[in-house]
Amino acid sequence: MNLLSRYAECIFWMARYMERAENLARILDVHETFARDTRGATNWFSVVQLNADEKDFFSRHDRPTAEAVIHYYMFDPQNRNSLLSMLRMARENARTLRPWISTEMWTQINVFHNKLLEMSVKDVATQNLSKVCTWIKEECQSHTGITEGTFYRDQGWYFYQMGKYIERADQTTRLLDIKYHTLLPSPVEVGSTLDVSQWTTVLRSTAGYHAFRRVYPRGMSPTTVAGFMLFNEGFPRSVVMCVRQIDGVLTRMRSRYDLRGGAAAMERVDELLAALLSRPIDAVLRDGLHEYLDWIQLQLNVITTEIAQAFFGVQPPLAVQSQSQ
Amino acid sequence: MSVPEGKPSDLLSSYNPGLYFDELFGAMDLPAEHTALIRQRLAALDFDELRRRAQDAERELYNLGITFIVYSDKDAVDRILPFDVIPRVISAPEWAHLERGVKQRVAALNLFLHDIYHDQKILKDGVIPRDLVEGNHNFRPQMIGLDVPFNTYIHIMGTDLVRDRHGTFRVLEDNGRVPSGVSYVVENRHMMQRVFPDLMQDIGIRPVDNYGHKLLDAMVEIAPAGVDDPQVVLLSPGTYNSAYFEHIFLAREMGVPLVEGRDLVVDNDRVYMKTTNGLAPVHSIYRRLDDAFLDPKAFNPDSLLGVPGILEAYRKGNVALANAIGTGVADDKAVYCYVPRMIKYYMDQDPIIPNVDTRICREPDALQYTLDNLADLVVKPVGEAGGYGITIGPRASKAELEDCRAKLLADPSNYISQPVVDLSVCPTVCDEAIEPRHVDLRPFAITGKSSWVLPGGLSRVALKKGTLIVNSSQGGGSKDTWVLEGGAA
């Protein structure tokens, strides 16, 4: 059966927004316990930096206090990177897609969105933030599970997978980048207690701590942690794992449905994968992790653009979407 | 629930429909036998329990997103169509009568449309004033001389019926453009099956869930000849349309893509949709878009919702549209008055379901009568839908009546008048108790090669005490409509 370009685009973005929401919850959660300076105060500003939202944030707030940042990323309807905005866009896409997705998928997103809409900053006073983030993660995981169990496997499924893995790869680079932003202002020694605990928290935020321990039972260093999150072949949130998925999904979809478009996107994915596999982690750290992560994000944007041009039609401005961050 | 002192515990024993015909109890002198078991089961329920089930049902409708959008100044809010859990019940013989009546009406209107877009015999014979038809803003000259499959113009029709004090069904209005509401018929049944399986047990209710199949069959029947496996689509104005849920529902039930105007293109007088693999041909379109928005090249040039060039593709016979273009002239409120004469003229039959007595204010006698009896009549503008612009004489203030009089005098042919119909009532769950509320009925008929009527239809209920206007935009709700299986059959 034919898949409307507009539907393909909505599916792709619905998947991205749900994945993005889950990761934002992870980032907020990890900041509460993790991103503290030497005096133990939480550095909420790094969340703003991480999302490159400085300009927009300071147009409405004087200082990055806990309350301001949490409100900005949880409930601010004007911030398109807030959880509420993401859920609104995921829901709008899901609403458009209701003839295509399962009723269970739609209902879960609808109820999730409506619950979030009823919440306020009071519900998320800092002591409750972790609980709320856990709830959001679980709702996102429910979505993933319901989708896995009910979404009919045709072209739409492939676009869903592509959206999800592109977003996840992007978000993993952002989580990893937390270290860059939070570390810069403080002169913490590599290998110090604080340093190790920060790396541990990065791993925990991606639910990767135990897997990491299994692979590296002794010692934890920037090399091993960054290497694990970027290149590990078994870790479901590693960048290489995600790009391999994108590669496989795109290849299978094009051949199974005899799609003419997508050759350029395919090339870009192959290039990115080859580049990831050819660069040792030591070289990455030596030349600058932050710059490397930026470069990956840029490649993912290019891939998105190629997919959009190949499958969503040349002018796709009307579906609910935004550019990748 | 603790029963207040002096009040009988039977849930229906203090129920009093007054002078109106009651859908569950029947007339006072003609008690409804066919609802005896249902009444017995309802009476045994606890009011709090009933309220709880009703709330569960509404919560579920909201979660499922079975909603329509209401636009206020700033926001677009999702609202459910309030759902009342007490069903409206129609006996098998009553339904057989309605079914025949609706089919007759669809047939007459299709004959009329074919005639006015071809030989115009009915105008030449002076049965209907020519200017009423040709001067109607829904008359489409582009349709003149064009043949449509099976001479069917109105493929989907919703006929609004009311029931007077004597229990007689009458046609209040025809909806032959893009009638809506059928999704609620099916969803209300699903809801009842979830919250009230015990009430429905062994009653023998005719199913409503095959509407999508019937609609798809008709869409395939009318597709251009020579296409083996026609691509059917549903064309929607988009997610911001208040009936978007229904569009989703119908597309899913038919298993066809829900497209918007921007998904379609016309090339060389053929219609295509934009897919991930390029353009794919489209043969049959159930459009939920008014004529005026359908083709910016032919009609409203400002329409961003339509498909440029689709009229020409249609005229060439390369694509089927349901409903056909130009049906609006048949469901006009002024033309409505002539439908009984149409039935006689084309079919040599009497109307099976009579009209409400209606006066056409373009006729001087009728205008005078209307002006003289304004306080007792309902005055309706002919071009409006959704219950807007109606003046109900007995309930209007002096100022409203004067305003109505001025409008009538300024533009008499824009109005019709009717006596106030004492709409029948149905027991309805209200805040404190079960009370009578007015209902109407909109059966849906699908016509390709032949006509099929969905057993039942949408029963809309005016939830505000005393009000007669059942439209969802004016605070109405809906009920599940049960058509009972016939006797031994």
Which tens digit of pLDDT belongs to each residue from B248-265?
A: 999 999 999 999 999 999
Q: Is the ipTM of this complex over 0.90?
A: no
Q: What is the mean pLDDT of residues B414-426?
A: 91
Q: Outline where DSSP puts E strands in B99-190.
A: 156-163, 169-175
Query: Does B318 sit behind a cis peptide bond, omega within 30 degrees of 0 on the bond before it?
Result: no
Are residues A261 and B257, on separate chains, in Cβ contact within 8 Å? no
Question: Do residues B429 and B84 touch, judged by C-beta distance below 8 A?
Answer: yes
Distance from CA of B278 to the nearest CA of A (A): 8
Is residue A8 less than 8 Å (CB to CB) from chain B? yes
Tell me the pLDDT tens digit for each residue of B319-358: 999 999 999 999 988 899 999 999 999 999 999 999 999 9
Residue B257: list chain A partners with CB under 8 A. 2, 4, 7, 99
- Where in chain B do CATH 3.30.1490.270 domains reside? 359-419
Is residue B464 less than 8 Å (CB to CB) from chain A? no
Band of the pLDDT at B453, cuts 50, 70, 90? Answer: very high
Question: Do residues B179 and B158 touch, judged by C-beta distance below 8 A?
Answer: yes
Nearest-CA residue of chain B relative to A255? B277
B167 vs B344: CA distance, rounded Å: 24
Are residues A257 and B65, on separate chains, in Cβ contact within 8 Å? no
Residues 6+ apart with CB under 8 A from B330: B109, B112, B113, B153, B154, B174, B176
Q: What is the mean pLDDT of residues B265-281?
A: 96
> Cα B345 to the chain's mean position, in Å?
25
Q: Is pLDDT of B488 > 50?
A: no
Q: Is pLDDT of B2 > 70?
A: no
The CA-based dihedral angle spanning residues B110, B115, B116, B120, taken in that order and rounded to the nearest 10 degrees: -160
Band of the pLDDT at B3, cuts 50, 70, 90? Answer: very low
Q: Is pLDDT of B361 > 70?
A: yes
B66 vs B64: CA distance, rounded Å: 5
Q: What is the mean pLDDT of residues A150-171?
A: 97
CA atoms within 13 A on the CB side of B418: 21
Q: Which helix (H) or strand (E) holds B272?
A: strand B270-275
For residue A103, give the nearest of B64, B260, B275 by CB distance. B64
Residue B384 confidence (pLDDT) = 60
CA distances from A282 to A200, A242, B282 (A): 19, 21, 57
Q: What is the mean pLDDT of residues B296-316?
A: 92
CATH node for B94-186+205-347: 3.40.50.11290
Size of interface A-B (CB pairs under 8 A): 67
Q: Outline where DSSP puts E strands in B225-269.
A: 232-236, 258-260, 264-267
Distance from CA of A96 to the nearest CA of B (A): 6
Tell me the pLDDT tens digit for each residue of A77-108: 999 999 999 999 999 999 999 999 999 999 99
Tell the CATH topology of B359-419: Dna Ligase; domain 1 (3.30.1490)
Q: Is pLDDT of B291 > 50?
A: yes
Q: What is the mean pLDDT of residues B144-158?
A: 97
Distance from CA of B388 to the nearest CA of A (A): 29
Question: Do residues B84 and B428 touch, judged by C-beta distance below 8 A?
Answer: yes
Residue A191 confidence (pLDDT) = 63
Residue reference for tokens 């939070």:
A182
Residue A127 confidence (pLDDT) = 65
Are residues B276 and A260, on separate chains, in Cβ contact within 8 Å? no
Q: Is pLDDT of A36 > 80?
A: no
CA distances from B483 to B118, B189, B200, B324, B462 (A): 39, 12, 12, 30, 21
Q: What is the mean pLDDT of residues A122-146?
A: 89
Residue B432 confidence (pLDDT) = 87
Is residue A309 less than 8 Å (CB to CB) from chain B? no
Higher pLDDT, B98 or A314: B98
Residue A52 confidence (pLDDT) = 84
Q: What is the token pair recorded at B37? A: 């078991």
- Mean residue pLDDT of chain B comes to 91
What share of chain A in percent tops pLDDT 70?
A: 88
- Mean residue pLDDT of chain A comes to 88
Q: What is the DSSP letter of A279?
A: S
- Where in chain B do CATH 3.40.50.11290 domains reside? 94-186+205-347
Q: Is pLDDT of B443 > 70?
A: yes
**Interface mutation vs chain A, best among B67, B247, B276, B304, most A CBs within 10 Å:** B276
Q: Is pLDDT of B113 > 70?
A: yes
Is residue B77 less than 8 Å (CB to CB) from chain A? no
Question: Do residues B89 and B484 touch, judged by C-beta distance below 8 A?
Answer: yes
Residue B11 confidence (pLDDT) = 82
Q: What is the mean pLDDT of residues A196-209?
A: 84
Q: Is pLDDT of A316 > 50?
A: no
Residue A182 confidence (pLDDT) = 62
Residue B383 confidence (pLDDT) = 66
Q: Is pLDDT of A57 > 90?
A: yes
B211 vs B183: CA distance, rounded Å: 9
Are residues A110 and B273, on separate chains, in Cβ contact within 8 Å? no
What residue segments make up the domains of chain A, in order of their start?
A: 5-311
Residue B1 confidence (pLDDT) = 38
- B258-260 vs B30-31, strand pairing mode: unpaired
Residue B73 confidence (pLDDT) = 63
Report the 10 Å Cβ neighbour count for B45.
19
Tell me the pLDDT tens digit for each residue of B382-404: 866 556 788 999 989 999 999 99
